[in-house]
Structure 1
Amino acid sequence: MVSRTADRLARTLLRLAAARQPSSLRADLHREWVAELHVLAAEGRPGPLLAYALSLAVSRPAAAEPLAGGTSAAKRVLTHAVLVLLAPAFCYGLAVVSFIGMGVLRDLLFPAFLDHDVVYRLQAPSATVLALSFAVLVGWVSWWLGTQGPLRGVRLVALVVLVLVAATEALVNAVIGTEYGRATAVWLPGLLIAVLVAGRQARRGRPGRGWLLGAAIMAVAVDGAIVAQVAGTHAEDLTWHYAFAPLWLPAALADWSFGLPYPTAAELFVIGDRATGMPQLVLLLSAYAIGYAVGAARPAQAVAPSVAASDPDGSPAEPSGSGSAGTATSA
């Protein structure tokens, strides 16, 4: 037998897992899971018991009830659609909050530093850190939305996400009058490629690799977007050193050339002026798009890793297991 603490923890995880399932399946699934839990507990295996319960708690829920099943299913789909539709606008709001937080932090640091240049140099890094923190949150929430939503298929998800991001980008640019057309023409196709790659990796059961590849593709795309946005800008005493263009993205995020001779102070000023807030914004939008794609494209987990499917007559099958497990259950 396992300890009472392990048993209670496993049962709590099972209740959490059952709460995430469709209401029509919840009771049957929980009953089957508890039966399997009894088998593992009787064998005195706390490690596999907790691993089993944890896998159910974090696995993807079973297929949701069909829309014809009732009003509650329709409400869930509608709520999901509204959240996905508003998510890109929410990312814009978080980008604005990041820069507001930058200003608040700057005002708080002014009295602490006699050299105000130090405070000014901390502005861009602080906005980037805030945006990165928000991006982690956005990525997790959008991943969860993807696992819960009705959208399936890597290409369909990529198309929907791209249309929503592009429409929001066009609307915001029209309202506030920003001129990021050349940059958008570079990073938006990059976002499509990143979402497709991340989704396909997640579909193959490698969501972590999907995140990494998607992030790497977007880093290249945003760096290219900065180059497209500032290329050809003329200013007094300004010479562009395009050989160092791969450093323009980290330089824009940190407002610093990291001790290297390029980009120069003049180049940094123009990059910051012509691409203000764009890298931080794309960071948030990318977290939303890639997170949703990875969540929606994940292969469906088995409802219970060691529980067989229901019998044709609808009665739940007995938990699968070895002969000793069956003996333990009957005991």
Structure 2
Amino acid sequence: MKKLVCVGACYLDTILDVPHYPGEDSKLRATNLQVRRGGNCPNTLQVLQQLLREQRPDGHNNHGGVKPYLISCLPSADAPATATVVDSFGPGSLVDFTRCIFRANHRDPASSYIIRSEATGSRTLVNYNDLPEMTIDEFVTAADEVGDDAWFHFEGRIPETTLQCIRYLRRSFPSTRVSVEVEKPGRWGLEDLAAEADVVFYSRSWAESKRYESAQQCLSAQSGVARKATVGAGDTFIAGMLFGLLCHHEDWNTERKVQFAVQLATCKVQRDGFDGVGAEVLKHFGVASSQ
């Protein structure tokens, strides 16, 4: 059984749809309100879980032979917010939460408040997170419990700590593969992470902040930094690439993996939320559905 460990923040998102952005010191009635779980790694795992359930490579649903884990800082294990996070993956979730770091003295989750304008299609985000960030010692404990022969995917938050985590994996578990997201413009230390990773996901916003004029220019320039580089943006794209790298590393070449991830991300942008994004694309790529 292959192990995929995603390391990153988990949020509860409150999403307000409004006709237009409110002016300062004004009132505006929202047209819709949603509260749902967010965060790059949890979103990626939600989509990956769908893909693993859909695929039946040998006629038996073995979930692609992949065991997904989440390492994230969460409130107390008995807090309602923690139950909301776990329940968001649905009954019988494939994701293992036992390596998460539960903050016993905290009841509130990391939160994100999102205003979406119907007039422009744009959105504004305000984040709040009172949970102490993961330390290298806490990561070491979790990583040791997972053991060797795993794929670790890092969101790219807190680069200094993340770099320590990756270097610990290299020393202690040499067969481990590592991927990282280089996403947020202006975040110091992301290129140091890229230099240590096997696979790097560059976001468009980060590339544009570096004044690259095309994806190819970004990859060419970063090839001297990163060992291997895969370009793309979005939690769904990353889920598709990880699915290809873990479940189809022998029968899909790199081009086919990227094509799958792009089509998966395209399917996602055509709907709200992540439910059902995988089945249609898997059928298109000739991977048998569980239906």
Give the TM interval when normalised to the shorter protein.
under 0.3
TM-score normalised to structure 2 length: 0.26
TM-score normalised to structure 1 length: 0.24
Structure with higher helix content: 1
Structure with higher strand content: 2
More RCO (CA 8 Å, sep 6+):
1
